Amino acid sequence: MTPAQCVCGFTEDEAGNETLGDHLFEVFAPEDGRAADGLVHLEGEAELFCMCGSGGTVDELDAHFLAVFIPTDLIGRDAHKHEKVAS
């Protein structure tokens, strides 16, 4: 399987130590966990749930974080565009 790649040039390593999802969290999620909706979106004390209440499974929590932190223009906090390159 071909490793996923971002348009900024990031490529997943073959060992899977850093995934495209890890990369997107790094460039889009602010350190304080506060999203554009004004709420804090971080893993809360309840396992697999965000402090805002969303989540349930690992996939649901990951999807929630991607939905609240990735802007529609895909421009990260580093001012570069980040998205998966078509295979």
Q: In the chain, what are the domain boundaries?
A: 32-69
Tokens of 80: 């570069």
- Going residue by residue through the chain, which has 87 residues, state the pLDDT in tens, using 9 for 90 and above: 567 888 898 988 877 788 888 888 888 888 888 888 888 887 766 678 888 988 888 888 888 988 888 888 988 888 999 888 876
pLDDT of residue 1: 53
pLDDT of residue 43: 73
Q: How far, in Å, are 15, 27, 41, 56, 59 from residue 76 at the CA level?
A: 25, 5, 17, 27, 22
pLDDT of residue 26: 83
